[in-house]
Structures are given as C-alpha cells and as structure tokens.
Amino acid sequence: MEAQLRLRPLSLFTLLLLSLLSTSSSSHLLNVINAERRIDLTSHIVKVFLTLKVENTGTIAASEILLAFPPNEVDHLALVKAAAATGKRKKKTYVPLDVNPTEQPDAPNGTKYLAISLVKPLGAGETVTLEVLYILAHSLEPFPAEISQSESQLVYYSDSAIILSPYHIKQQTTFIKTPSAKIESFSRVEPTNRAGTEIKYGPYEDHSSHSFSPIIIHFENNNPFAVVEDLVQEVEISHWGSIQITEHYKLAHAGARHKGVFSRVEYQSKPSISGVSSFKNLLARLPPRAHSVYYRDEIGNISSSHFRSDKIKSELEIEPRYPLFGGWKATFVIGYKLPLQDFLFESPDGRRYLNFSFGCPLVETVADKLTVKVALPEGSKDPSVEVPFPVEQRLETKYSYLDVVGRTVVVLEKKNVVPDHNSYFQVYYTFKPIFMLAEPLMLVSAFFLFFVASVAYLHIDPSIRK
C-alpha cells in the first residue's frame, strides 16, 4: 500500500510533464496563409523576393519565424534580408528584422534554417506579413559547359516549384523571370503557365511542411558572368590630408568556357553575333571626389579607360587589354586618393573613426573573396570595427616610410560578396596628435645629423703626417 502511495506522485508528475511537453510542442503552430515568390534570373546573380503572410494558430506567442533552404542552396547563399510590412500599397512601411542561422534537430535531408526575429512577438490568432530578399551566387550552371565564339550561352537553374518551408502553406505562387524569351525547356508542375520571359508555377493549395517539387529551367543568358575571384582593397589613412586606396583585382568570366580559336576580325565585324556572352568593359563606382586615379595591369598603365567625377559620384569605365570570354581571366590594379575630411570623423567620446564603403566597386559582379585592409596612422591604439553583417576580423602590422613601431592594420574578410553588400562600415581608434610630429622630427633629425657629419668631414684632415 505504501509503495502504491509512493508511485502516485511520480505518475502525476510524469503526466504533468507530458502534458506540458505536448502543450509546448503544439503551442507554436504557425501557418503560411499566402506565399508569393519571384525569382529574377536576368543576371548571373539570382535574386529571390519572397512575401509571406504568417498566422499564429497556436496558444503561445512566437518570437521568430524560420526560413528553410536545401543544403545545395545554402552554399550559394550570399545575402538574406527580411522586413515586416505594415499598411497597404503606397502607405506601406517596412521594419527591418534580424536574420540569423539556427539549428533544428529534426531537419529532414540536411535542410538548413534561418531565423527571422520579430520586433513584437506574434500572439495567438495574429498575422504578420514578411518581405524577404535572398541572393544566390554561382547558382546558374552553363550547359553546354563549352561554346564557340559564334554560339550563345545557355544555362540552367534548378529549384523547387513548391516553396520549401517548415510550415503548412495554404496557397502559394512562384514567378520566374528570364533575360529573354529563348527558353530551351522547363519543368512542368501543373498548373504551370509561360508568357514571354516569365514562367508561373501555381497557385498551389494546401501543401504540408517541407514539401519539395524539383524543377529545372534551361534558357539563354548572355549577360556577362563577371566574377572577382580575389579582391584586396588597401585603405591607408594619413592625417596629413588624404586617404590612399589601392585595389588588386583577379577577374574571371565564370560562364561557359570558350573553345576553339579566337578571331578578332570576326569579333569586331559581327559584334551582335560573335562573342555575345563576352564582355570588354566594366564600370567601377568609386567614392565621390576621387582624384589621382590610375588603372594598370602587369604590363603597365592602360589608357583605354574613362573617368568621370563630381561631388555626388565618381565612375571609372575600364577596358581590359582583351575581351573576356568564358574561362578567361585578367588581373589589374586600380588606385585613387580621397579627401580626408569626407571620410574621417571624430566621435563624441573623442575617438576618430573612418566611415567607408564595404563591397566591390565593380557593377554587377560577385566577389568570391573580398579582403579590406585599413592601415591606421602610426600611434593609433584600441581599434574596433562596426560592420552591418558578419565578417572575419584580424589585426596586422605594416611598415611604411619613416615608420618606427609600424602601423596597425585592421583586416576584414568576407566571401560571396554581391552588390547589395555595398554599405558603410566604421573603424574606430584613438590617436594622440603628438604622434603627427614623429615623421617631421625624424626628417629634421636626419638632416641635422647629415649636416653635422658634413661639417665634421670638412674639418678633419685625413692625410697621414709624421
């Protein structure tokens, strides 16, 4: 009898624990009422615009909403932005939301998740509309992989007609836009419609979580597949009035590889047919009021470039020595100077900070690896960085002219950099003005010692006498 009485509290506790677990597992029940996805394939950089209307059908408020991605898509994911939309049409406002990777123990087939943190928890019975933009790099595969000079470039894109989501979706539609109406083939998941350059999948009704329906689209895309395999941007700050920028590029054409012999006569006589997927010029958007601009490669200065600058923008149109076909590469250097007062400021706490743009200056390019090196003036201490997205950071030491202890260099590295990454970052540091006298004092000391040595030499008789 005593044993039975001892077991009752345990059984009641177990039942209570099970009920709490079942309640917690069913409390965060989120459903997607409507989902619309628009995929832009007009460039070699794939942009996906996703609109989700999410409803909380559970009993406990939800503080985050998950986005699901297949593992092969995560490798090409360059940027994800999310915002909560309120209002209608012209009166619609957007509130930016934080997006961070998260782990789910029951992820099927290696699915990866990102969590969108809501500003205000979504209560039971409430709805929220989310606008999501995510960008994919290297997601278009050339097929065939090699083409001749007179052939157009064909690529294929693989995805799912059904939006991969951890939630049940009541209604969804996907629109895919191609650069031209020349579409070789595309998968059909009824209902599927095509009109010119746009393919519409859906609307589809009531699909359970983690539904997936693979599709492949094979189409013509002759846009330049300009990829910077490695970009090293050196920013050297001088408190004497200027900022020196030096950018080292390793550029490649990541499209279908060129096969056969290149004919420049055919390339120039038939520009609309010969080498339509190649490119021979690029546009670099530099900071305003840039001056002393130079552009050279391993051979020397390249004169085939055009530079335009004013108070609002600076543009440099560059032309490599030869047009770039698929698989071809080029290396070059761009350098310029900037006024110090436009980019270096003083914070309220007395620290100085550099406000500069992070990203690749070349328009419509993907930088596989971007390294930004900010060389602070000698004597700078306590450097810190504020970047609007995750980057790898480290410190180095650099020796320049008349340096004694060396300059602190802040190094920032990031992979899969796209034009949407172009935003300002800040490098804070402390600096005492007395250090500005170090180099002039060294020059004065050097000239003084030289003068003393010259006077001593003139007054010494080196001849040998008895």
Shared-domain flag, residues 191 and 290: no
Q: Say how far apart CA 430 and CA 379 lie, in whole Å.
A: 9
In a domain, 22, yes or no: no
Shared-domain flag, residues 428 and 313: yes
Shared-domain flag, residues 181 and 279: no
Instruction: List 301's β-bridge partners, or say none.
Output: 296
Shared-domain flag, residues 263 and 154: no
Which CATH number belongs to the domain containing residue 269 in this structure?
2.60.40.1730
Shared-domain flag, residues 58 and 94: yes
In a domain, 4, yes or no: no
Per the structure, how many domains does the chain have?
2
Which of 145, 207, 204, 211 shows the shortest CA–CA distance to 174? Answer: 204
Shared-domain flag, residues 157 and 283: no
Shared-domain flag, residues 303 and 326: yes
Q: Burial of 212 by CB count in 10 Å (0-12 exposed, 13-18 middle, 19+ buried)?
A: middle
Per-residue pLDDT of the chain (466 residues; tens, 9 = 90+): 333 333 333 333 333 333 333 333 333 589 999 999 999 999 999 999 999 999 998 888 999 999 999 988 888 999 999 999 887 777 788 899 999 999 888 778 888 999 999 999 999 889 999 999 999 999 999 999 999 988 999 999 999 999 999 999 999 999 999 999 999 999 999 999 999 999 999 899 999 999 999 999 999 999 889 999 999 999 999 888 889 999 999 999 999 999 988 888 888 888 777 888 888 889 999 999 999 999 998 887 777 788 988 878 899 998 888 889 999 999 999 999 999 999 999 989 889 999 999 999 999 999 999 999 999 988 888 999 999 988 999 999 887 766 667 789 999 999 999 999 999 999 999 987 665 556 666 667 777 788 888 888 787 777 776 5
Tokens of 319: 């032309």
Shared-domain flag, residues 67 and 168: yes
In a domain, 360, yes or no: yes
Global pTM value: 0.84
In a domain, 63, yes or no: yes
Shared-domain flag, residues 153 and 259: no
Structural domain boundaries enclosing 406:
226-440
In a domain, 204, yes or no: yes
If DSSP states are collapsed to H, E and C, what string results for the chain?
Answer: CHHHHHHHHHHHHHHHHHHHHHHHHHHCCEEEEEEEEEEECCCCCEEEEEEEEEEECCCCCEEEEEEEECHHHHCCEEEEEEEEEECCHHHCEEEEEEEEEECCCCCHHHCEEEEEEEEEEECCCCEEEEEEEEEECCCCEECCCEECCCCCCEEEEEEECCCCCCCEEEEEEEEEECCCCCEEEECCCCCEEEECCEEEEEEEEEECCCCCCEEEEEEECCCCCEEEEEEEEEEEEECCCEEEEEEEEEEEECCCEECCCCCHHHHHHCCCCCCCCCECCEEEEECCCCEEEEEEECCCECCCEEEEECCCCEEEEECCCCCECCCCEEEEEEEEEEEHHHCEEECCCCCEEEEEEECCCECCCEEEEEEEEEECCCCCEEEEEECCCCCEEEEEEECCCCCCCCEEEEEEEEEEECHHHCEEEEEEEECCHHHHHHHHHHHHHHHHHHHHHHHHHHCCCCCCCC
Tokens of 346: 């003083």
In a domain, 458, yes or no: no
Shared-domain flag, residues 171 and 233: no
How far is residue 139 CA from its own chain's centroid? 15
Tell which of 203, 220, 237 closes a domain: 220
Shared-domain flag, residues 211 and 262: no
Tell which of 220, 244, 272 closes a domain: 220
Tell which of 220, 239, 269 closes a domain: 220
Q: Say how far apart CA 73 and CA 109 lie, in whole Å.
A: 13
Instruction: List 146's β-bridge partners, or say none.
Output: 257
**What pLDDT, on a 0 to 100 scale, did the predictor assign at position 6?**
38
In a domain, 287, yes or no: yes
In a domain, 17, yes or no: no
Shared-domain flag, residues 200 and 241: no
